[in-house]
Amino acid sequence: MIGVGSARRAILDFARLGRPEFLVGGFVMHGLGIAMARYVGAPLDLRVALWGQLAITTTQLMTHYCNEYFDLAADQANPTPTRWAGGSRILVEGRVAPRVALASALVLGAISFAIALGVATLVRPGPLTFVMFVAPLFLAWSYSAPPIALHSRGLGEMTTALLVPGAATLIGFVLQTGRLEPLLLLVVLPLALLQFGMLLLIEVPDRIGDELVGKSTLVVRLGPARSARLYLTVLAMAYGLLLPAATSGVPPLVIAANALGLPIAAWLGWQMTRDAWADPCRWNLLSFAGIALLVGTAAADLIAFTLTPPLQ
């Protein structure tokens, strides 16, 4: 008979397997889309917002359980896991059976697909709504699952950038407004670049294990030194886009909110020029700083749009 303590540990292990700490970005990006919709004059539809968030969160969780299952060999081969890289270690340590992760991913994927059908037919009818939900669901599954396994084709970083800042913000905005606007691209593109760069930072500690099992991420393909130079380029592009955004209708307060991350970005850039990527003792801090830069910038954007009076 399973004791209370054992049951509690099993539940906690299962929850940790889903990497709940990484769900925060989905809430922030979706909230940003909703705040942008309010700025362009759309009234808040709370029912639609809740359905959108449920779809985003279930898709994220599906991705996490899917990744844990299909990346098990890479995680087992990884000699340098960190707080943010190398998976949750739950499967590696044998605390949950791999088949549980796969079954969970399949169930969550089915739930997310059912939500997409329901929202596209009953809540916000239309083909745009359906595609807006199902395309990210397909990409999220294909990120690590064969036969596509985008992360092993040097496309995982771009896919993640499209999914988190891209799709989550898009869902928040379009479900509220029913339309697309150039404002979306102007706000989302810098965040997508920060997400892309964040993945490069997280993949450095995984490089050895990934390479051993044929998981060809960009860091594996380019090597850490060239990846660091790519990171500097991506960082420069993200902040270089603020000027055209400021002259194309993005509110000044939102531009200022983006600029709040410059000290962290400058520190990360300086670390890259000093080859911090080669020091395992700095990997946790670099990854955390990259995550904080992305989520913090998105949260600042959300607050800035909320405080900016709606367009007349």
* pLDDT value at residue 262: 96
Query: Does residue 163 fall inside a structural domain?
Result: yes
Task: Report the first-to-last Cα separation within the chain, whole angstroms.
Answer: 65
Mean local confidence (pLDDT), 231-255 = 96
Is the residue at 167 inside a domain?
yes
Q: What is the pLDDT of residues 23-67, one digit of tens each?
A: 999 999 999 999 999 999 999 999 999 999 999 999 999 999 999
| pLDDT cut 90: percent of the chain above it | 91
- Asked whether residue 204 is assigned to any structural domain, the reply reads yes
As a whole number of angstroms, the distance between CA 84 and CA 68 comes to: 13
**Mean of pLDDT values over 270-278:** 94
Token couple for 13: 């292990």
The answer to whether residue 1 is domain-embedded is no
User: Where in the sequence is the domain holding 78, given as residue range(s)?
Assistant: 7-307
Residue pLDDT, tens place only, 113-170: 999 999 999 888 988 899 999 999 999 999 999 999 999 999 999 999 999 999 999 9
DSSP 155: -
Transcribe 168-236 into DSSP letters: IHHHHHHHHHSS--HHHHHHHHHHHHHHHHHHHHHHTTTHHHHHHTT---HHHHH-HHHHHHHHHHHHH
Whether 208 is covered by a domain: the verdict is yes
Q: Which are the contacts of 279, defined by CB distance < 8 A and separation ≥ 6?
A: none
**Is 37 within the bounds of a domain?**
yes
Token pair for residue 160?
């993640």
Higher pLDDT, residue 14 or 311:
14
pLDDT band at 7 (very low <50, low <70, confident <90, very high): confident
pLDDT at site 3: 66
The answer to whether residue 2 sits within a structural domain is no
More confident site: 273 or 4:
273
pLDDT tens digits, 79-94: 989 998 889 999 999 9
275-307: per-residue pLDDT in tens?
999 999 999 999 999 999 999 999 999 999 999
DSSP string, 237-274: HHHHTHHHHHTTT--HHHHHHHHTTHHHHHHHHHHHHT
pTM comes to 0.94
pLDDT (0 to 100) of residue 186: 95
- Per-residue pLDDT for 210 more than 70? yes
- Asked if residue 286 belongs to a domain, the reply is yes
**pLDDT(2) > 70:** no
Task: Give the chain's domain count.
Answer: 1
CATH number at residue 185: 1.10.600
pLDDT of residue 20: 95
